[in-house]
């Protein structure tokens, strides 16, 4: 874990200390939670779903055929619904 130095207005430090005291936590712990919450709300990379992050991951692979063709090929031996 990395330490940082941040300048905060005195009234914010008092408020932070009061909040930490009410929650039974350290000032640093409250700040870590605040940064985590802020990060979760950010539209940056960390907020994307695993599907969005993985989109296009295999797009340049030449050893993998077309997914739709593969699905159609493995389903050729199945009985069509209208014949059931």
What is the average per-residue pLDDT within 19-33?
96
Is residue 30 situated within a structural domain? yes
Dihedral over Cα of 33, 37, 40, 46: its sign: negative
Residue 35 lies in domain: 10-78
Q: Is the pTM of this model over 0.75?
A: no
Is residue 1 situated within a structural domain? no
pLDDT of residue 31: 95
What is the number of domains present in the chain?
Answer: 1
Is residue 42 situated within a structural domain? yes
Residues 6+ positions from 30 with CB-CB distance below 8 Å: 16, 19, 20, 23
pLDDT band of 40, cuts 50, 70, 90: confident
| Residue reference for tokens 């539209």 | 43
């Amino acid at each position: 874990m990395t330490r940082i130095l941040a300048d905060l207005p005195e009234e914010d430090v008092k408020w932070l200390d009061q909040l930490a005291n009410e929650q039974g936590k350290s000032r640093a712990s409250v700040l870590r939670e605040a940064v985590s919450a802020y990060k979760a709300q950010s539209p940056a990379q960390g907020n994307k779903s695993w599907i969005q992050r993985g989109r296009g991951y295999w797009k340049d692979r030449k050893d993998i055929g077309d997914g739709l063709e593969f699905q159609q090929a493995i389903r050729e031996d199945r009985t069509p619904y209208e014949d059931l």
